[in-house]
Amino acid sequence: VSTFNEYLKNRCSHIETLLDRHLPPALPTANQLHEAMRYAVLGGGKRLRPLLVYLTGEALGVRVEALDLPACAVELIHAYSLVHDDLPAMDNDDLRRGKPTCHKAYDEATAILTGDALQSLAFDLLAKTTPLLSAEQSLHMLKTLAVASGSSGMAGGQALDLLAAGRPSDATSIERLYHLKTGALIRASVDMGLIAKQDATTNQKAALGEYAHCLGLAFQIHDDIQDIESDVATLGKTPGNDQKNQKPTYPAVMGITAAKAQVRLLQHQAKAALFCLDAPGNYLGQLLDHVLT
């Protein structure tokens, strides 16, 4: 376990350094948008999605440096999704990663533009030429992240999430929504790790695809459980917001016990998928336990 913790610490500080380098500098003379972008991205977050890019690539023997750009890109998209998710027109949250939300620290217009600019920066990074990836690989990653972020992915899921508020729902509709709003970026993270490996086998693709599919759903259900059971200091966000917003979350609709059982089942399924992957010493399995407990 201590080696996994060391891995996490090293990777997270590597990710922080890269994000810091790729974000525009917040010079006193520069416009406030740059500062707000840095505020929304740096100094917080579990960095789950970049970690998935690295761990997937590393499980397949890809060099870490070849994974840097997609790892940053997906975290920028994620950070943008959080800034917009917190806006008054969406979840109306005041606290994120233990700090005031972007629109509270700045203002709504700045928060909207921060999200826009983070999204653009993500694709700008994937469009960079690098000797570590072929142009085809970069283009494939760009397409993968674009589809996962858009109306058939995260943004589409967010639209369904808003539509669902205050209405009765059922497990099937909730799962479909979660696979989009949260699962899409998690699957894209794993997919980009796979793309970095030129010749991943069908078995590797299937195993990692199953892993990401299960993790995406389990991660959102776990987040919903935390919203009910955890406290502000642990979460770094205000608990109870789902109920306040009348969100038909998985635990709200199915009950907290069933929700916890579902997370365990998916965690188990995700781990089982890894058995088909011959990647000794890789931490994808430990990452599951880390983010789902």
Contacts with Mg ion, residue ranges (CB under 5 A): 85, 91, 223, 227
82 binds ligand IPE (CB under 6 A): yes
Question: Around Cβ 141, how many Cβ atoms within 10 Å?
Answer: 27
Q: Closest distance between ligand IPE and the C-beta of residue 255, in Å?
A: 18
220 binds ligand IPE (CB under 6 A): yes
Residue 35 contacts which entry, Mg ion, ligand IPE, none (Cβ below 5-8 A, type-dependent): none
Q: Which two tokens stand for residue 108?
A: 């709504």
Which single residue brings its beta carbon nearest to ligand IPE?
A: 45
Among 181, 187, 197, 213, which residue interacts with ligand IPE (rule: CB under 6 A)?
Answer: 181
Residue 34 contacts which entry, ligand IPE, Mg ion, none (Cβ below 5-8 A, type-dependent): none
Counted residue by residue, the chain has a size of 293
Residues in contact with ligand IPE, total (CB under 6 A)?
18
Q: What are phi and psi of 11, to 5 degrees?
A: -65, -45
Q: Closest distance between ligand IPE and the C-beta of residue 91, in Å?
A: 5
81 binds ligand IPE (CB under 6 A): yes
Which single residue brings its beta carbon nearest to Mg ion?
A: 91
Among 69, 73, 154, 259, which residue interacts with ligand IPE (rule: CB under 6 A)?
Answer: 154
Q: Closest distance between ligand IPE and the C-beta of residue 20, in Å?
A: 16
Which residue number, 75 or 223, has a Cβ lying nearer to Mg ion?
223
- Name 95's bridge partners: 100
Residue environment code for 27-63, b if the CB has 16+ CB neighbours within 10 A, otherwise e:
eeeeeebbbbbbbbbeebbebbbbbbbbbbbbbbebe
Residue 101 contacts which entry, ligand IPE, Mg ion, none (Cβ below 5-8 A, type-dependent): none
Among 16, 91, 191, 210, which residue interacts with ligand IPE (rule: CB under 6 A)?
Answer: 91
- Name 100's bridge partners: 95
Binding piece for ligand IPE, criterion CB under 6 A, among 20-28, 60-68, 91-99, 116-124: 91-99
Alpha helices in the chain (DSSP H): 2-22, 32-41, 48-59, 68-85, 102-105, 108-126, 135-149, 154-164, 171-178, 184-196, 202-229, 232-235, 241-244, 250-254, 256-275, 284-292
174 binds ligand IPE (CB under 6 A): no
Q: What are phi and psi of 216, to 5 degrees?
A: -55, -50
Quote the DSSP letter at residue 180.
I
Sign of CA dihedral 100, 106, 107, 111: negative
**Rounded to an integer, what distance in angstroms lies between the CA atom of residue 154 and that of residue 5?**
29
Which residue number, 66 or 90, has a Cβ lying nearer to Mg ion?
90
**Rounded to an integer, what distance in angstroms lies between the CA atom of residue 44 and that of residue 46?**
7
Residues that bind ligand IPE (CB under 6 A): 45-46, 48, 78, 81-82, 85, 91, 93, 97, 154, 158, 181-182, 220, 223, 227, 237
